[in-house]
Every structure is written in C-alpha cells, then in structure tokens.
Amino acid sequence: MEYFPSKIAPFTLKLLNLLFVSDRKLCFPAGSPACYLLPMPNATRIKKSTVRAEPNQSPASTFNEAYYKRFYLDRETRVRASQDHKRLADFVFGYVDHLQVPIRRVLDIGCGLGHWKKEVARKYPKAIYTGVEFSPYLCRKFGWKNGSAADFKGQGQYDLVLCQSVIQYLPDSQARKAIANLARLCRGATYLEIITRMDWDEHCNQDVTDGNVFLRPGKWYRTLLDRKFRNAGGGLFLPKSSGAVLYELEGPDPNR
C-alpha cells in the first residue's frame, strides 16, 4: 500500500527515519499522525530474521570507535536517540523511587558512552556514579574503570546497578557469572536490558540493532535471575536480600 507519490516517498521516509529511529519496532510516537498514516517505512522495516547463533567477531575488537559511531553517534544508523535515554531513565528512577530504594551509589556496567551518567546526575546530583567498561577504547576516552560484568569486583555494594544491553555480548559461561556478579554488587535494585532470541525475532528493529550477539531464550535468563533476584517487572530486579515491598501483581506470576 502506497500513501506517498513514489518520488517524494524515499526522501520523506528517510527524514522520518532520522526523526524516529529506535531500536524498538514502534518507531512513531503512539498516537502521532504518522502512526496512522504511514505503513512501516522501508528504513525501519523489520527484516526476516538473520539471527547468528554466536557473534562472528571477538568482543575486544568489536568495541572500537567505529562501533560507537555506528550504533550511538551517527544519526542515520544509531540505535537510540537522546530522548529514548531520558524516557527510560525517568521510568527506572520513578519505579525505584516508588519502591523506596534510596540511591547514593550507582554502578553502570558496560556503560558505553555514559548515557546513564548524565541522567543519574540530573536525578540524583549527590549520588556517586561509577562507569565500568570492557572496551579499552572507551576507558581511555572517558576514564571508565576497565572491567568485565563477569568479574568486576567493585567497592562494596551499590544501590542501583545498571546493565543495559551488555549481557547478550557474553558467551554462556561469562553471562552466568555476570548475573551472579550483578546480584553480589547490588543492594537496592538492578536495571537489566538483555536482548533475547524472541526480542530479536519479534521486537527489535533489526536495521539498527546489533545482531552480532548471543541470542538466548528468555527462559535461560529467567532461571538464572530467579536464583538471585525478585523480578519487579519493567527490567528491574531486586536482590533477594532487599526489603522492598512488591505487591503480588507487580511482579511476574510465580507459577508461570
């Protein structure tokens, strides 16, 4: 179905892609006129799955300047825009506030370009933020602590542990260790975003999301997470030791 004359369509769609590109399938703000008028533009069309069971490059060589340019800085190819960071941060901080978890120390593992650092400073100006990175390039550039999610020791425990879009880059044994390590480091709440096989097939915009990762079933993660955390929904996990109160329907069905 074509809504645009074919000559102006490519230009218009490219412009819309620049404005609304996102790693999630829904690329138009819900309720916006574009949402009703347009079919999914070519630039954000979901391709047939091109899943790779394992990454084809070693992670150390992957996380270089070109990687961050492609996925974070170039407006045409980036996976998220700054308004996406703010919207997510508002949600996470709002939920953590609702659960009455006080935030003084924040650990951001696999912090990338440091998008969370800015959001943490905005919401919790007195909190101490620690960014940890596996990429030597980023550690040199931003001064992050060099380490891996699998065995970063840290200094004591942290009220909020952030680990966004990192664990899917780790092979199974490292991913297992990382989840246990996050639980060890966290005393308040952990925000976790991990792309699963189903996400790649059904939820991601494959044109902008990095598919060079380990795609595992959600159940694989749930089994590991359930040992150490209570799932609060929305990507938030509370360590078993946390006294935060979750109403029965705020978490997942324990019998599922």
Ligand X SMILES: C[S@@+](CC[C@H](N)C(=O)[O-])C[C@H]1O[C@@H](n2cnc3c(N)ncnc32)[C@H](O)[C@@H]1O
User: Closest separation between CB of residue 24 and ligand X, Å?
Assistant: 14
Of 85, 80, 59, the closest CA to residue 70 belongs to 80
Per CB under 6 A, 149 contacts ligand X: yes
Q: Which of 28, 124, 129, 134 binds ligand X (CB under 6 A)?
A: 134
User: Closest separation between CB of residue 63 and ligand X, Å?
Assistant: 4
DSSP 249: G
Residue with structure tokens 């645009």?
Answer: 4
**Residues in contact with 51: Cβ distance below 8 Å, sequence separation at least 6, in sequence order:** 197, 200, 201, 211, 215
The residue among 103 and 150 lying less far from ligand X, judged by its C-beta, is 150
Per CB under 6 A, 115 contacts ligand X: yes
Residue nearest to ligand X (CB): 112
The residue among 13 and 103 lying less far from ligand X, judged by its C-beta, is 103
Q: Which of 112, 188, 235, 239 binds ligand X (CB under 6 A)?
A: 112
Per CB under 6 A, 190 contacts ligand X: no
Hey, what are 128's tokens? Answer: 């101490």
DSSP 117: H
Hey, what are 232's tokens? Answer: 């609060």
Per CB under 6 A, 63 contacts ligand X: yes
CA 26/CA 46 separation, integer angstroms: 11
Per CB under 6 A, 165 contacts ligand X: yes
The residue among 147 and 251 lying less far from ligand X, judged by its C-beta, is 147
Q: Count the residues of the shown chain that bind ligand X, applying the rule CB under 6 A.
A: 18
User: Closest separation between CB of residue 15 and ligand X, Å?
Assistant: 25
3-class DSSP assignment, residue 213? coil
Q: Are 161 and 111 in contact (CB under 8 A)?
A: no
Q: CA 95, 101, 105 angle in degrees (round to 5)?
A: 110
Q: Are 76 and 18 in contact (CB under 8 A)?
A: yes
Q: Are 92 and 236 in contact (CB under 8 A)?
A: yes
Per CB under 6 A, 216 contacts ligand X: no
Binding part of the chain for ligand X, among 6-14, 40-48, 90-98, 165-173 by CB under 6 A, reads: 165-173
Per CB under 6 A, 135 contacts ligand X: yes
Hey, what are 197's tokens? Answer: 């096989």
Binding part of the chain for ligand X, among 5-13, 16-24, 105-113, 220-228 by CB under 6 A, reads: 105-113
The residue among 161 and 225 lying less far from ligand X, judged by its C-beta, is 161
Sign of torsion over alpha carbons 155, 156, 162, 165: positive
Q: Which of 144, 169, 214, 237 binds ligand X (CB under 6 A)?
A: 169
Q: Which of 44, 130, 164, 181 binds ligand X (CB under 6 A)?
A: 164
Residue with structure tokens 């879009």?
Answer: 165
Contact residues toward ligand X (CB under 6 A) are 59, 63, 109-112, 115, 133-135, 148-150, 164-166, 169-170
